[in-house]
Structure formats: C-alpha cells, structure tokens
Amino acid sequence: MSRVLFIGLGNMGLPMAKNLVKAGHHVFGFDLSELAMENFSKAGGFRSISLNTEIKDVDFVITMLPSGKLVSDVLLEKNALFKEAREGTTFIDSSTIDVDTAKRLAQTALERGHFMLDAPVSGGTGGAALGTLTFMVGGNIATLERARPLLEAMGKNLFHAGEAGTGQIAKVCNNMLLAIHMIGTSEALNLGKALGMDPKVLSEIMSKSSGSNWSLNTYNPYPGVMENVPASRDYAGGFTVDLMNKDLGLAAESALRSKTPIPLGHGAMDLYRVHAQMGSKHLDFSSIIQFLRPLD
Amino acid sequence: MSRVLFIGLGNMGLPMAKNLVKAGHHVFGFDLSELAMENFSKAGGFRSISLNTEIKDVDFVITMLPSGKLVSDVLLEKNALFKEAREGTTFIDSSTIDVDTAKRLAQTALERGHFMLDAPVSGGTGGAALGTLTFMVGGNIATLERARPLLEAMGKNLFHAGEAGTGQIAKVCNNMLLAIHMIGTSEALNLGKALGMDPKVLSEIMSKSSGSNWSLNTYNPYPGVMENVPASRDYAGGFTVDLMNKDLGLAAESALRSKTPIPLGHGAMDLYRVHAQMGSKHLDFSSIIQFLRPLD
Amino acid sequence: MSRVLFIGLGNMGLPMAKNLVKAGHHVFGFDLSELAMENFSKAGGFRSISLNTEIKDVDFVITMLPSGKLVSDVLLEKNALFKEAREGTTFIDSSTIDVDTAKRLAQTALERGHFMLDAPVSGGTGGAALGTLTFMVGGNIATLERARPLLEAMGKNLFHAGEAGTGQIAKVCNNMLLAIHMIGTSEALNLGKALGMDPKVLSEIMSKSSGSNWSLNTYNPYPGVMENVPASRDYAGGFTVDLMNKDLGLAAESALRSKTPIPLGHGAMDLYRVHAQMGSKHLDFSSIIQFLRPLD
Amino acid sequence: MSRVLFIGLGNMGLPMAKNLVKAGHHVFGFDLSELAMENFSKAGGFRSISLNTEIKDVDFVITMLPSGKLVSDVLLEKNALFKEAREGTTFIDSSTIDVDTAKRLAQTALERGHFMLDAPVSGGTGGAALGTLTFMVGGNIATLERARPLLEAMGKNLFHAGEAGTGQIAKVCNNMLLAIHMIGTSEALNLGKALGMDPKVLSEIMSKSSGSNWSLNTYNPYPGVMENVPASRDYAGGFTVDLMNKDLGLAAESALRSKTPIPLGHGAMDLYRVHAQMGSKHLDFSSIIQFLRPLD
C-alpha cells in the first residue's frame, strides 16, 4: 500500500485516482474543481488541503494535467513540488506533453534526488474507468518496477519505452500514426462505398488483408459497421477531435525540432484542424469520415 | 479436374498457373514470352498454340495481365475470346484493373451467355509461389462456388466482395489504405528514431497499441526491426514501388470519377511517384521510409 | 460579318453570343432552355429552329457547354454536326473540357475537312458580359486568324497556345496554379493575421515582394482588404467553388494520364472538394480562406 | 553620417555592410570568420576589435545572423550588448528569426531605453550586393525614420509592417507563399509539358492570366524559359533550398503556435525537406521543378 498525491482529477485523472483507492492505496487528490475533489472524496479518496504539506508525506506523486506548461508549473515553478518533496520521492507524469519538457523535468527530478517516470496513457476515459489503460513509460527500469503496483491498478498494459522522455515519444508517434490510419481507413471506406460496395463487407475483407489496422478493425468509422463504437452513436464520446489535435500538434512540434518530414502527419493535422473549426471539436476523432465524404 | 486456359504467365501468372497444374488441372498457358511458356511446359502445363481453338475446349479462362486495356483486348477486341468461347464458359480475371473496365467486361460476358468473376489478388510473388494468395472476388456467388477449386489451388483466402467489379473495388481500396499506413508507419518510426528512441521498441509498443497496422506488425519498413522482410535486405524483392504506383493510380482514377476526397491517398500517390522517379521503381514499397528520412 | 451557330447560351454563352450580335454578326443561338433562347432573341439573335438545317448555312460553329461529353455529343454523336456541316466549316469550342477529347475532336474535324480551334476562356461572367474575356487557343494559326474577328468581339486577350488541344492544356494548368496560389495566399493572410498583423498591410507588402500573385494582388480573399471583389460581398458571385472543382478534376485527370506529380494541385483539389461538400459550392472560390481560418 | 556596429558578415551581411561604407558611414564589422573581416576591411570598413568597447561609441547596431538563438546570444545573453550599449542606441535586426524572439528582443530593448527594429530582408545575395534589398520593418515609425538613411543605403524598398515583430511576420508569410507558388508553378509547367505544350508559351500565357505570380513571371523554374535565372544555370546560386527550409520551418512554428491550418505550407515544407535530403540543399529553391518531374 502506497501513499500517493494525485494531481489533476479531470475526465481521465478522476477514474484513474479512484482505481488507486480501490486497490487499497492512500490517495490525496487535487484539482481546481471543487466538484471533482468532492467526487473523489465520495469514492474513498482524500481531498488535498495543502499540497506543500502533503507532499512531504507521500511516496508517489502522479500528475495528469492538460499541458506541459501546467506540469512544469506544479513540479518546478509555482508549486515547486520538486523542491518541497522529501528526497527520493517518485514522480509519475501521466499527462501527454512535449518530449523536451518531459526530458527536462526528469533531469531536474534527478538533480534533486528524486525519481521520475513519464508515463502517458492510451485507452481513453473508458480505459481509465475500467482500469485497462496502456502506459508507455520512459525512465529508469528500477523506478518502473517500484511504480508497477500503482500502474497496474490503473492499467492493463505496461510498456517500458526506454530512458526518460521515451514514454512521450512513443505516445506522440503512436497517436500520429493512429490519426493517419483513421483518415486512411475513412478514405478507403468512403471510396469503396462511392464505387458501390458495402462498407461492412469491405471492412471485413481489408481487416483480413494488408489494409488491416486498429482503426478499421476495432474502431470502425463507418456508421453501422460495428456496434459499440462512436460511429454508431453519432460520434459522441470517445477520443475527441480536440484531443487528437493536441497530440498532432505535439507530433508536429517534434518533427519541426528534429527536421523529420511527416507529410501525412501534417496532412492529418491540417484536416483535423479544419474539421474542429467546422464545429466538430467535441466529436470523436473517427467523425473525420464525415468530413471527407464524397461530393454529391 | 478442369480444363483451363491461363493467359499471362508473368511473375505472378506463372506460379499461379503452375499451382493449377500441380492440383491436377489441365492447363493451357499463354504468354508473349516464349521463355515463360517453356518454363510452364517444364512444370507440366501445355503451351497454348492457338487461343481461338483452345478456347472452345476449356471450361475456365483465367487472365493475369498488367492492364485493363490488355484484358479488354484479349477478351473483347483483338482476340475476342468472349465471342470465340462456347456459351457458358467461366472467365476469371485476376489482373488488377480499373473498376469501370471490370464492370463492363462482366456485363458483356453476361450478354454473351458466359460467367465472369473479377478476382484480383494480394500476397505478391511469394504468395503466388506458395499458393497462399488472397482473392477478392466480385461476381455471382454460384460462379464463385464453381470456381472455388481453382482459386483454392492458387490461394488461401477467398473473399466474396459482392457483385461484379467489387473485387477490384476491394483491391484498390485496400492497397490505397496499405500505402497510407506504410507511409504513416515510416513517418512514426523515423520521428521516434530522430527523437532518440529505438525503432524496435517503438514498433513493439505501437503494434500493441492503437497505432497497430499490417505494415508495422508484419512488414516493418525500418531496417533491422524484423527479419525476412524487404527492409532487412535493402528493400529488394517484395511489392515494388512501380506496382504500388499502378494501384494508387487506379485509386486516384476511382476517386476522380466518384468525387471522393482522398487527401492522404493523393499524398501517398505523389510521394510514391517522386520516390519512383528518384530511382526507386524496382525497390520494395517499404523503401519509402528512406525517402522520408530526417534532414541531417 | 459572319454567319455563326452558337450552341450553349448559359451564364457564359449568352453574354458571349450577345457580343457577337452586337458586333454585327448573324448568330443563331441554341440552348435547351427556352428562356435563354428568348433572352437571346430579345438581344437581336436568332433562335435556332433546326440545328441540322442551320449548320449548312453558317461559317462558324461555337460551342460553350459544361462538359466534354456534351461537346462530343453535339459534334460527333447525337447531333453529329461534323457530319452535317458543309466541308470547311470552322468549329470553335470555348468549353473547358479534357485535353484528350479536345484533341480527338480536332482530329475528327480535320478528317472531315473542317477547321477546329479549342478556345477555352478565362474572365468569368463579368468578362463575358463586358467582352473582355481571355481566350487560350489551340489549333492552326491560319484558322485562328480567320476566327479572330469573332474572338475579339467577345474577348480582349487572345493567346495562341500551339496545336490542337493546347488551349485546354493552358487553361487547365493555369487554373490549377490559380487554385494553388489562392489557397497559399489565404494561408499566408490567415497566418499573418493570427500572428497579429493587419491583413491589408501584409497584402500590400507581399504584393510588392516575392509573394506577389494574381489572387493576392487583384482578387484578395481577405474580407475588407479590397473593394469590388467577392471577399467584400460575402463571397457571392465570381468564380464558384463548383467550377474550380471541375477544373481541378480536369487537372488531376491530366496528371494521372501523364504520371505527373502534382502534390499541391491534389492538395488544392481535396480542400476544394471538402469545402464544397460543407455547403460552399456556390460561393466564390476565394471563400477557401474561411475554410482555413485558425482554430479558436 | 552614422556610426554603426555591424554583426554578421556572411553572404548577406558582408555586401550590406559594404554598402553602408560606400554611403559614407563609419562601420565596425564583426564576424567569427577572420577572412570575412579582412574582406570588409579591404572595402573600407573597420574590423571590430572589442564589441564591448565599440558598442559604446556607435549609434546603430545591425545584426545579420543565421538564427534567433544567435541574435539573442549577442544582444541579451553572451555578449549582452543591450546591457553594454549607451541608452538610446538603435538596434536593427535584419536576420530572419522567429516572431516570438523578435518581439521579446524588442520588448527588452525598450525596457533598457533603446530603440529596436526587426527588419528582415528579401532580395538575396544579388540584392544585397546591388543595394536593392527589400526591408520589411517592424517597430516604431520614428525609429524607422531615423534608420531610413542606413536602410536606404542597403535596399530599395522599405515597408513598414507595423509594430515590433511584424517585419518577421511579413517575411515568414511572404516566403511561405513564395514556396507555395514556386511549387505550384513547377507543377503547372511540368504538367503542361507532359501534355505536349511548350513551357515558354505556357509561361507567357499564364503570366498574363490568373495564374500570374512572381515565381512564374520573374524567376521561372523551367530551364531555358528565362535567361539569368537559376534555372538557366543548373540551379546554381540564388536562394538555396536550405534557406527556404529554414523559412518554412519558421512558418510552421508560427502556424503551430497560432493553430492556423497551412495545408499547402506544410506540403511545401515536407517537399523541400525531402528535396534537400536527396542532395539538393545547396541548389536554388526553383530546382524543386526537377524533383517533381513526371515519371518516365
């Protein structure tokens, strides 16, 4: 049983923190939303009263925040938890942030005598609730082993990606690839349909052929082909266009810095940008198939 | 045991025809190359001497030719086999051609009292040799059942895509999607590597996450990640850039006719065009990862 | 003074035919719309009663139709005017159609002893009304000289592009380039504005620098920068997204046949396709700047 | 006559500084290359011996450096010229750098009691030598007026873009647009040629039609169409692919920050990246037409 300070009880963070409680850990939860803290309390967690005090009593700090700027604020600048924490505290950042910030934070943690993992997740709010998230973890393997019980309380798959920052690298590369094959799958299904073919039959054939991919096989964007996916409920819920835009922005930033050509990655980013701007920000990202439908 | 006339003994056609012979069928083989016919004869096939005579003695005609124009020449125009054949002959076109020509040929076959299937394949020369091709079949299901013994002698997977032309639709959609996720996979692996991550570890993580796709999982384009794929033998063999260009051209043509937006499909096509033009026509299509490598 | 049969009295054709009348020519006008013919009659033209009779009495036939299929129907197939016309009749096709059809028609005209020019126009309905169109003319130069009085009654600029078909080539290349720099101009102005710069000042600077282009200088897409352009009247009128899509489709078809990479041309086409599909078909093509506006 | 400290005597900086000398100004020149300083001395300039001393004797400091990082090093960090300079010194940064750094530098200059202009140039090494550069100037108009004699010694066109940073905004937007219409022009000329048209005639027609743009009209990328452009000397000299890549990177960075979709801008960037990587870094940027030539 560990003592944990969990910062960021949003759509993802709250169910994750609850799963830690359920697994028997002692968890202080913090969020700017009073309502989120109340919900967490009802689930058996403790409301954080003073980060600067609680930080001294915990073994683990988990951050689940919407941007690298905020993570940096909490750990380094405003709240300066790196400074306030006892030496040897383990920090796990499960936010999806840029690689440079992740590496810098890990470096600073090390200099202060702490341990740090970047451990972004995939699996969405559904996976967060069910405790079936995938963690892509960058950092020292011994630290990962020490954090394993916590991570396994929240997720099902645990990948060690390499040294500090590689968790974020894996996440950003994976999600760029996801965006690309989601759009590719949408184009293929739209084209097949326009030429006169049943999207369901086409999906079955391609999923067993070289076109096979996660978007096609498990998250089919064509309405009616698959049950229990966003396409079958008007693209409500799921992984929003907004979140995909955030991840594609991180990919583009990384590509800029490393001078890597990502023609289809950029194509995907601009399509999702325009799609969002046309009023689809809060739809699931598989709704791109509608954006790309053939001209009448 | 069936009597078959097999037209087109090229890199794909020859091993396919040989597998028919091996399965005990009586096969006349035709090709403009005398050498191809000789090789076929050595394998137990019969050299075609006169298409116009042999056509009257066979139950099945299989075409495996490089373009819709050539298939049309053989069946409708120059050789006019549709006219020469006995009523009720079954034509199987395994060439990859445009959907319109496929539909037109099927329609004409029907009018002449014949049966016809469009049955393009995937699986490459390796699959042709081993008899493990995938057939995507468009046309009447009863005709498909009658042709099944022949198709199963040449392939492992048999998909019924729907009515006439849908075999070609499925093929063109599948291969466009394949090109897109091959390029997407290349971009993701190049980006990960440029950011400092091991492509092998990144491949493992993404293949178990939402980035998962056929190119990544079974045909990894990064040299050294996977054995026995073109990337590990300098991109020799496999499915050439030239052939991918042909299929992307068919996809673009279909998209033009049906007014379907295919932004990533077009992106893939232009990248493969330029890649070919820079001297990579005969390399495997996974070599696109080299074309897209980061700037020094 | 010439005797002319003018086929296609649409938004472009009607004002063009009227200008011929105004210049003193004897013009029969034909259109499927009775109203169009009535309007033409009021302007001093003659309603066509029987194409097959009138064709024998005229020196020139001008076609202004929405597709190559229709032009081909009128001249070669259904109406077969090539066959009905007296030997030595001059045919001028001012429609924008695909290069192959244009070449084929010219070839057939020649075989029948006629003269033919492909003479597509730019300048829009405004230019058609004012008689300030630009003609891009493919065909024999002697024929062009003979047709010059007619063309100059309808237009201001007359370019001889080369042999038969080159008028259409010039048109399709020009309009693809126009689409590209319209989108490029939109991206640059949107970006400048998002970064905090006045689009009017930015337009002035770029128009005098290496960014200079027709879209920026004379047809500025940013609302309020320029008077008397579609951007300053909610993108009403002008050259519609629909028409641009038609021309980009012709460019893509030509590129497909000639295996020419047109990455930005394809990008433009897919953007205009999606833009049209989102409800902007009838807006001016400079409205693409709205489609590409920054995310809030 | 002014006293000037000129920092950065590279391909652009050296001829610019020489023009200041020629106009009668007293100029100290600094560069890490001893050879550059020697060349400058031969032309009548003074070698900088100690930046920290000379800074106190001059009225103007001009920087012409390859990156924002270096400009920032010189003015703020390493050399800290902002701190060393007498209050009221005027700083002119003619480097092409990112907008954020430009704004930050201007802000700091102001706080220290200095004046600052961002004044990036276009016109290349040719324009630098001839004193015909274009300056896009951001900053206070009174400062611009005071700097005018210097700028007019080096350039012909002087644009006031607005407040601090807008010079860089104008530059980055302009050059992105330039890249786009250069590629668009290349695609149009390649397509026209592939379809059978003379690129020279096509260029003439489009330059007088709506396809008109700076790349086509004054810097034609097709070999042989125009004299005295890089295309007519194997793309030697001019504005290199490398420099265009730098500018496109700045555009992409700005677009990322401002969430502006730039689909063709990104397309241009990735094409120029791959073109550079294939061995064309040091060619003129109009060489992209070769990269995009049709498949044989």
C266 CB within 8 Å of a chain B CB: yes
CA dist A271 and A265 (Å) reads 10
Question: Comparing C-alpha atoms, which of B289, B274, B269, B278 is closest to residue B180?
Answer: B269
Report the pLDDT value the prediction gives residue A296, as an integer from 0 to 100. Answer: 77
In order of D28, D48, D82, D252, the CA distances from D53 in angstroms are: 11, 9, 13, 39
pLDDT(D23) > 90? yes
Say whether D174 sits in a helix, a strand or coil.
helix
Q: A295 and C278 in contact by Cβ < 8 A? A: no
Instruction: Please give the structure tokens belonging to residue D164.
Output: 């601090």
Instruction: Please give the structure tokens belonging to residue D257.
Output: 């920050």
CA dist A122 and B212 (Å) reads 13
Q: What is the pLDDT along chain C (296 residues), one digit of tens a residue?
A: 899 999 999 999 999 999 999 999 999 999 999 999 999 999 999 999 999 999 999 999 999 999 999 999 999 988 889 999 999 999 999 999 999 999 999 999 999 999 999 999 988 888 999 999 999 999 999 999 999 999 999 999 999 999 999 999 999 999 999 999 999 999 999 999 999 999 999 999 999 999 999 999 999 999 999 999 999 999 997 899 999 999 999 999 999 999 999 999 999 999 999 999 999 999 999 999 999 999 87
Report the pLDDT value the prediction gives residue A258, as an integer from 0 to 100. Answer: 95
φ, ψ for residue B256 (rounded to 5)?
Answer: -65, -50
Q: Are C278 and A280 in contact (CB under 8 A)?
A: no
CB atoms within 10 A of CB A234: 12
Report the pLDDT value the prediction gives residue C40, as an integer from 0 to 100. Answer: 97
Report the pLDDT value the prediction gives residue C120, as an integer from 0 to 100. Answer: 97
3-state secondary structure chain B: CCEEEEECCCCCHHHHHHHHHHCCCEEEEECCCHHHHHHHHHCCCEECCCHHHHHHHCCEEEECCCCHHHHHHHHCCCCCHHHHCCCCCEEEECCCCCHHHHHHHHHHHHHCCCEEEECCEECHHHHHHHCCEEEEEECCHHHHHHHHHHHHHHEEEEEEEECCCHHHHHHHHHHHHHHHHHHHHHHHHHHHHHCCCCHHHHHHHHHCCCCCEHHHHHCCCCCCCCCCCHHHHCCCCCCEHHHHHHHHHHHHHHHHHHCCCCHHHHHHHHHHHHHHHHHHCCCEHHHHHHHCCCCC
**Chain B residues touching C254 at Cβ < 8 A:** none
Q: Are B63 and B95 in contact (CB under 8 A)?
A: yes
3-state secondary structure D54-78: HHHHCCEEEECCCCHHHHHHHHCCC
Q: Cα D177 to the chain's mean position, in Å?
A: 14
Q: Are A115 and A140 in contact (CB under 8 A)?
A: yes
D292 CB within 8 Å of a chain B CB: yes
If phi > 0 it is left, if psi is from -120 to 50 it is alpha, else beta; for residue D50 that is: beta
pLDDT(A78) > 90? no
pLDDT(A237) > 80? no
Q: Is residue D111 packed enough to be buried (19+ CB in 10 Å), middle (13-18) or exposed (0-12)?
A: exposed
Q: C291 and A274 in contact by Cβ < 8 A? A: yes
Task: Quickly tell me which residue has 């469009």 as its tokens.
Answer: B118
Q: Which residues of C25-34 are buried (b: 16+ CB within 10 A; e: fewer)?
A: bbbbbbbeee
CATH number of B3-162: 3.40.50.720
> How large is the ipTM?
0.94
Chains contacting A (3 or more CB pairs within 8 Å): B, C, D
CA dist D273 and D175 (Å) reads 15
Q: D256 and A266 in contact by Cβ < 8 A? A: no
Q: A270 and D252 in contact by Cβ < 8 A? A: no
Q: Are A161 and B202 in contact (CB under 8 A)?
A: yes
What is the set of active-site residues of A?
A: 171
Predicted confidence (pLDDT) per residue in B181-195, tens digit? 999 999 999 999 999
Beta strands C3-7; B155-162: pairing state: unpaired
Q: Which residues of A188-199 are buried (b: 16+ CB within 10 A; e: fewer)?
A: bbbbbbbbbbbb
pLDDT(B149) > 90? yes
Say whether A81 sits in a helix, a strand or coil.
helix
Predicted confidence (pLDDT) per residue in C238-269, tens digit? 899 999 999 999 999 999 999 999 999 999 99
How far off is chain C from D195, nearest CA to CA, in Å? Answer: 7
C178's CB contacts (< 8 A; 6+ apart) are C214, C215, D210, D211
Predicted confidence (pLDDT) per residue in A33-46, tens digit? 999 999 999 999 99
If phi > 0 it is left, if psi is from -120 to 50 it is alpha, else beta; for residue C5 that is: beta
Query: Which superfamily, per CATH, for A3-163?
Result: NAD(P)-binding Rossmann-like Domain (3.40.50.720)
Bigger pLDDT: C168 vs B52: C168
Instruction: Please give the structure tokens belonging to residue A268.
Output: 């995907």
CATH number of A169-291: 1.10.1040.10
B42's CB contacts (< 8 A; 6+ apart) are none
Confidence band (pLDDT; 50, 70, 90) for D223? very high
In order of A136, B214, B215, B273, C87, the CA distances from B222 in angstroms are: 21, 14, 10, 21, 66
B35's CB contacts (< 8 A; 6+ apart) are none
CA dist D131 and D18 (Å) reads 10
D274 vs A249, A261, A266: nearest CB: A261
Report the pLDDT value the prediction gives residue D100, as an integer from 0 to 100. Answer: 94
If contacts are CB pairs under 8 Å, which of residues 195-254 in chain B contact chain A? 195-198, 201-202, 204-206, 208-216, 219, 251, 254
CA dist A130 and A127 (Å) reads 5
Q: Which residues pair with A121 in a beta bridge?
A: A135
- What mean pLDDT do residues D180-199 have? 98
**Chain B residues touching C273 at Cβ < 8 A:** 259, 261
Predicted confidence (pLDDT) per residue in B196-237, tens digit? 999 999 999 999 999 999 999 999 999 999 999 999 999 997
- What mean pLDDT do residues B89-110 have? 97
Beta strands C3-7; C26-30: pairing state: parallel
Q: Are A234 and A282 in contact (CB under 8 A)?
A: no
What is the set of active-site residues of B?
A: 171
Report the pLDDT value the prediction gives residue A295, as an integer from 0 to 100. Answer: 82
Chain D CA closest to residue A258: D249
Say whether C50 sits in a helix, a strand or coil.
coil
Say whether D43 sits in a helix, a strand or coil.
coil
Q: B260 and A294 in contact by Cβ < 8 A? A: yes
Q: Are B236 and B284 in contact (CB under 8 A)?
A: yes
Confidence band (pLDDT; 50, 70, 90) for B238? confident
Q: Cα D254 to the chain's mean position, in Å?
A: 17
CA dist C246 and C179 (Å) reads 12
Instruction: Please give the structure tokens belonging to residue B119.
Output: 């049955």
Predicted confidence (pLDDT) per residue in A83-135, tens digit? 999 999 999 999 999 999 999 999 999 999 999 999 999 888 889 999 999 99
CA dist D44 and B161 (Å) reads 80
How far off is chain A from D242, nearest CA to CA, in Å? Answer: 12
- What mean pLDDT do residues D117-144 have? 94
Task: Give, as one character, the DSSP assignment of residue A239.
Answer: S
pTM for the predicted model, two decimal places: 0.95
Q: B295 and D273 in contact by Cβ < 8 A? A: yes
B205 vs A159, A255, A259: nearest CB: A159
Report the pLDDT value the prediction gives residue D266, as an integer from 0 to 100. Answer: 98
Helices (H) and strands (E) in chain A, counts: 14, 9
In chain A, domain spans: 3-163, 169-291
Confidence band (pLDDT; 50, 70, 90) for D83? very high
Counted residue by residue, chain D has a size of: 296
Report the pLDDT value the prediction gives residue C124, as an integer from 0 to 100. Answer: 83
How far off is chain B from D237, nearest CA to CA, in Å? Answer: 21
Q: Are C119 and C157 in contact (CB under 8 A)?
A: no
CA dist D112 and D106 (Å) reads 10
Q: D213 and C212 in contact by Cβ < 8 A? A: yes
